[in-house]
Structure formats: structure tokens, C-alpha cells
Structure 1
Amino acid sequence: MAKVTYIEHDGKEHTVDVKPGLSVMEGAIRNNVPGIDADCGGACACATCHVYVDPDWVAVAGKPSAMEESMLDFAETVEPNSRLSCQIRVSDALDGLIVRLPQSQH
């Protein structure tokens, strides 16, 4: 299991265990983390699972695909470290990952 910390826009933290192979979004949904709606169920067809990857984790989490970048156009307040959490696959290398939720997703 990898520990992933989700930080709400108000600073409230949720650190949960996420099974490798699941997405960061699935980890949030399975652990009732507020702020990640995942309206499309993880199909990269919306932006309701938008997160900001902590700067220390950007390289490890990887870059968004072209399809993910086009979906991020629908998110509010996109930053260089914005990702769709449905597109980040959890692995042992992501143990300790920190993501922040945008204010628009509260």
C-alpha cells in the first residue's frame, strides 16, 4: 500500500492507504475524501478530479497525456502542477504522494 495525502482547500488533510494499481482518484473515492467527485468514473472525460501535485512529487507522478491536458481545459485555476487524479496510477514509487484540491472542488 502507498500512503497518499489529500489536502483540502482549507488545509484539512486526509492520509489514506491506496493499493498500487488504483488511481489517486479511486483512492479518494474509496476513502470518502471530499472534493473529488469523479463524475466520469475515471474515464478522463471530465475535470472533477482535478488536483495539484505537490512540487516535490511532480517528476515522480509524471506528465499529463495529451488527452488529459485537453480535459484540464475544463478545470478551474489550472497550474503547471495540475493533474487529473484519475490519470495518476499509484505505485510503490508514489508512497508519500501529496496532492492538493482546488478551492472550486469543495
Structure 2
Amino acid sequence: MEQVMWTALTDICRSEEQSINEIISMIDEKRGETNLTAAIRVFLICYYRDGLAVQGMRFGGVAEDSDFDMMAEPATGQEFPCGALVSAALESVGPARITVGAETD
């Protein structure tokens, strides 16, 4: 990954009070068949896009194209606690991967 991506990921981790390992693990669980590096890039873009949408809402801008919900609760069964921006960005990465031996409903 490019240095600017690592810097962005580090900034998000500081802001969300999560380790890089925790954030990458969450992304890895959601990415499905997508390459991990590509999934991280999608996560970063969506995190910052939704962050801008929140800023636009706070300062009177219009954020029509974002489906970000500031009041959304983290997904049930989520292994790591995280903020609303992380939850929304993870939803853009994809559904959780089903691992071999995992219980299903």
C-alpha cells in the first residue's frame, strides 16, 4: 500500500482509538473475495467520504449521495467496538465473510 494510505489508516486508528490490527481485522472480515489492499482502499475512501458528509450536515451543506447514518448502532456480533464512521465504511467493504466451521443461523 502507498504511504498516504498507511498515513490515512493510522489517522483513522488514532481518531477511533483502535489499533491498525483491529481495523484491518474488521476490514478483512467484511471483504468477501475482494483483495485486502483493495478493501482497505474502499474503507478509507468511504470513511473520509462519510466524514465529509457529516461535516456538511453540521455546517449546512447537502450530503444527498451518502447513506451514512450518524445514529446507526454497530452491527450485532461485531468483535471490536468502533464508531459510526467505521461501521458505515465497513458496510461499504462488503458483508462479513463466512469462515469454515463458523456457525450459521
Answer yes or no: same fold by TM over 0.5. Answer: no
Higher relative contact order (CA 8 A, sep 6+): 1
Kindly indicate which of the two structures has a greater share of residues assigned to helix: 2
Please tell me whether Structure 1 or Structure 2 has the larger radius of gyration of its CA atoms: 2
The structure with the greater share of residues assigned to strand is: 1
Return the TM-score normalized by structure 2. Answer: 0.27
Report the TM-score, using the length of structure 1 for normalisation: 0.27
